[in-house]
Amino acid sequence: MITNIKNRDEIEDKYKWDLGAMYKDPAEVDQDLARIKELLEQFKGFSGKLNDKETILQALILQDQSDQLMEKCFTYAHMKLDEDNSNSAALALFDRVKSLYVTYNETTSFFIPELMKLDYSVLESYAQDERFKDYRHFIKEIGRNKEHVLSDAEEKIISAFGEVAGAPKNIFQILNNADLKFGEVKDENNQPVQLTHGRYNKLIQSKNREVRKSAYNELYRVYRSFKNTIGQTYINSVKKDCLYARLRKYNSALEASTFADNVDVAVYNNLIKTIRDNVSLLHRYIDFRKQVLQLPELRMYDLYVPLVTELDKKYSYEEAVDIVLKGLAKLGDQYISDLKQGLAGGWVDVYETPGKTSGAYSTGAYGYHPYILLNFNHTINDVFTLAHEAGHAMHTFYSHKNQPYRNASYTIFVAEVASTLNENLLIKYLLEQTNDNKEKLFLLNYNLEQFRTTVFRQTMFAEFEKIVHEQVEQGVSLTPDLLCEIYYDLNKFYYQGVTMDDEIALEWARIPHFYNAFYVYKYATGFSAAVALANGILTGGQEALARYLEFLASGGKDYPIELLRQAGVDMATPKPIEDCLKSFAENLQLATKLV
């Protein structure tokens, strides 16, 4: 059992990912960077000449070659740096790769606009050629987006404003991450600590209510003092979204956003309506929290404290792997065999070491196996993290194995499905394996909190975004006070049973996702799809499993709604959300019986 943070060279190789599968030596990356530059020079030659089938095919093949090589270099370089962010050689390598990546995007930027100018019926005829089979979805996208592409002169003007358009997001990031300074609060030992974003996330879960309250009030004291600055920054971000949508001939900023995934606006609206219609389930959960915590009233700073302290159990990494493999057994022998081989075959970087990037993620480059970064600390939460990242990795593994490069990448809309499904299967397995009521309540609390924060909270965020963008589109003058009023009213509706305070009206001011408009709803839809698919696999047998495995192997060969529909979940209807909420209600009922 590892109890102290060791240096990287003290960690056994079996606990480190094997980047040698891509490059035996970092110096080899520079050889590929030189090769990419050569390919870019060749690609430049297609500019202004994309006017016949053979030339377009050659350009597509060359773009795939250079794209794939660029992806390999970038993936390797960022993982090498993530091993140790203080490694100057790795930092220099990543800088060289990033620099070429910028040049790469600039050099190839002519390609899609030139294809857009062509008669789409001609491109469609080219797509019938068997040599274009890997590019048929790409060509379909050209036709779908054509009506929203402007003239050359207009496109150049919009492109020139790209950096200015990104200003609200950049300003918020700098303000939020560098300039905002919080004061001191007292910790559980009554010792003063400097409040930071990271410490807030820990303190808000403290068993000591005064610690939670103090951290909460201090955080929002600072955001209140910057309310007008952050408010104007966000308002300008909303105005930018609405302006771009109008210029590109969309009916709304929401439509412009969902169009990218070929998702009807009705999917977004269905999510909000279905959650609103069933919000009483959240109110029941709030009452349950109040009962378990034995509080006369529940405040917003009481929502994150665990109902059960983390289990005393500690797990070795080998034990975690064994639990995950057993927990995912319903996914079939082949899935388990592939995952087991990967977890033992250089996919995973397990332990925290000095300078290593925090958190967890899964990544990969086409043509090579996926990778998982962990900072394993032997807790049950780390076991769930392994299952989660394994879901991403296997989605990537099967997509890359079964799809050509052009169709191998899946979209954000479906990105969290495989990972969340794994966590749901693991929860079910662990609940079946224990007779300890405390452990059962811990597991159910973990799961219920996922529902609350991913389905209910993200939907509330999505509704806030919808309202504020509609206000601008209707000519209403947004102000920081109006943002606070809208946000406060939403919290009042969603969190009925919680005693409201003025501080929560400012929460919108600290949410970075709002600067990527209409993004957060995908967390809620993805979670709902995962729950529906997991339930289907547990009750539907081999047919449901076969459809799900086909989904994992589909990458981005079709639009996300279609891929999920083929897997057995129709996100164009409210049913997956309703079924997800039924699971929430069932788990809440189980939890209430344990208290």
H or E segment and range at residue 243: helix 227-247
> Could you give the maximum distance between any two Cα atoms of the chain, in Å?
74
Phi, psi of 193 (to 5 degrees): -130, 145
CA distances to 380, 503, 558, 561, 594 from 565, rounded to whole Å, are 33, 42, 11, 6, 37
DSSP class of residue 51 equals -
Listed in sequence order, the DSSP H helices in 14-161 are: 27-44, 53-83, 88-108, 111-117, 120-127, 136-145, 152-160
* Residue 543 among the catalytic residues: no
Contact between 410 and 522 (Cβ < 8 Å): no
Residue position matching structure tokens 């390609």 = 111
Q: Work out the angle at residue 531's Cα, subtended by the Cα atoms of residues 375 and 315, and round it to the nearest 5 degrees.
A: 30
Contact between 101 and 70 (Cβ < 8 Å): yes
φ/ψ bin of 262: left (φ > 0), alpha (ψ from -120 to 50), beta (otherwise): left
- CB-count burial class (<10 Å; 0-12, 13-18, 19+) for 476: exposed
Shortest CA distance to 457 belongs to which of 570, 582, 300?
A: 300
The C-alpha atoms of residue 393 and residue 369 are separated, in whole angstroms, by 9
Token pair for 29: 């990356």
CA distances to 90, 162, 353, 359 from 85, rounded to whole Å, are 8, 30, 11, 14
Annotated active-site residue in 389, 463, 473, 503: 389
The C-alpha atoms of residue 332 and residue 434 are separated, in whole angstroms, by 23
Token pair for 161: 């404003």
**Amino acid letter at 554?**
S
Q: Mind telling me the catalytic residues?
A: 389
